[in-house]
Amino acid sequence: MADDGRGRAVPSGRLSRFGRFGRLAGGVAGGVLAEGTRRLAAGERPRMGDLLLTPANAARVADQLAHLRGAAMKLGQMISMDAGELLPPELTQILARLRDNAHHMPPAQLERVLATEWGKDWRRRFRHFQAHPIAAASIGQVHRAELPDGRALAIKVQYPGVAGSIDADVDNVATLLRVSGLLPREIDIAPLLAEAKQQLHDEADYRREAAMLERYRTLIGDDPAYVVPGSVPELSTGQVLAMDFVAGAPIETLEGEPQAVRDKAAGALVSLVLRELFDWGLMQTDPNFANYRWQNETGRLVLLDFGAARTVEPATQTGYHRLLMTALDGDREQVREAAIAAGFLGEAAAARHRAIVDRMIDVIVAELHRPGTFDFGDRGFVSVVREEAIPMARDRQTWHVPPVDTLFVQRKVSGTALLCANLKAQVDLRGTIEAHRHAPLGGKS
């Protein structure tokens, strides 16, 4: 993530973090009062939703979530990526800022963290340690360093207090968004909250991430499409993760590259998701764009950040496999049954809204079977499916929450599709899926 030089100490105590939420709620309320007074004086009769969703209030929320980091910021990122097309435009834009907007620790706080993890003489281990971070995200910040033998490293340092504040922060953010009205009542984020807590606990365990990093290096092997940095065990702890520094440009820079280059990168992204799901049974479930970089000179994807890596349950593998293969076969009845069996679609909704479900399936299957490559940049069919789904979404009696494991996987699938759409890439999607028709499901890498 880009950094603009803003160093702000991370509130590490529970009381200080709770106080931040209290002041934020008060600031939002004050903003509502001020905006309401202004509009009334102008002869308007504003709705409460208009007062809450002002740019000033949304900016207050985004700024404080970025200051708190950890669960607070991560939840904002997850909401923006998972439900962005359902949220009010004002909130979507603000939350999207959290994907690439974080404050870093000031030098004194960084020094205390590293002295605790490595000892007071930790600087003797390095020829050079760059004090200013090269990236600052929700859980930690990354510094470039060089060992005495010249080996270049990337050192990820966790913000203090993040691990112990996860559950409370997630609950506080959810309450804040509900009470402030910044999150529509129609969106049930309970499954997302549970996912956020577990994922954050996993991401805050850097020893676990180091193990996942090495598992991915083994699985990728010598595949020329990808690069995975190696870990440095002797410098890694529960709150510091040391790994090789791998050069690469932000994945978004591909947007200005020729079509063939964008297509190659997107093809590697799609292939990776299918291999994770069907071949390995292990998936890095955080599709944040910052977790990918691109080496233009080698044409390889650099894969980063494995804190959100987790095994995929055999039932989830089987459900996705059946759904995709029946879609390739173009059998509407089988697709509907597969969607219900996989937990994507509730039986009540499928029964009450049969015609709508069938029309949605027809649109998706037709798109998959269009001649030539699949054009991720042409998202016209998405709006068609969304319009069809509106009556189902309004029928709360048939609302259905997919299995938690499916939510993890679908987040990666959806995020990858979004990235490919941003690249306006064209991929042989049918052929890539078909290559996994006889995948060895049920195994664990």
Which residues does the annotation mark as catalytic? 286
CA distance 17 to 5: 23
Instruction: Show the tokens assigned to 246.
Output: 């791998």
Which phi and psi angles does 140 have, rounded to 5°?
A: -160, 180
Q: List all residues 6 or more positions away from 431 whose beta carbon is below 8 Å from its beta carbon.
A: none
How would you classify the pairing of strands 309-311 and 282-284?
Answer: antiparallel
Indicate the residue type of 88.
P
Do 12 and 160 touch, CB atoms closer than 8 A? yes
Distances (CA, A) of 106 to 3, 84, 131, 237: 13, 32, 9, 21
Longest Cα–Cα distance in the chain: 71
What is the chain's alpha carbon radius of gyration, rounded to the nearest angstrom? 23
In our burial notation (b when 16+ CB lie closer than 10 A, e otherwise), range 60-75 reads bbbbbbbbbbbbbbbb
Sign of the torsion formed by the C-alpha atoms of 317, 319, 320 and 324: positive
User: To which residue do tokens 């700024």 refer?
Assistant: 63
In degrees, rounded to 5, the angle at the alpha carbon of residue 320 between the alpha carbons of residues 319 and 326 is: 90
Do 105 and 113 touch, CB atoms closer than 8 A? yes
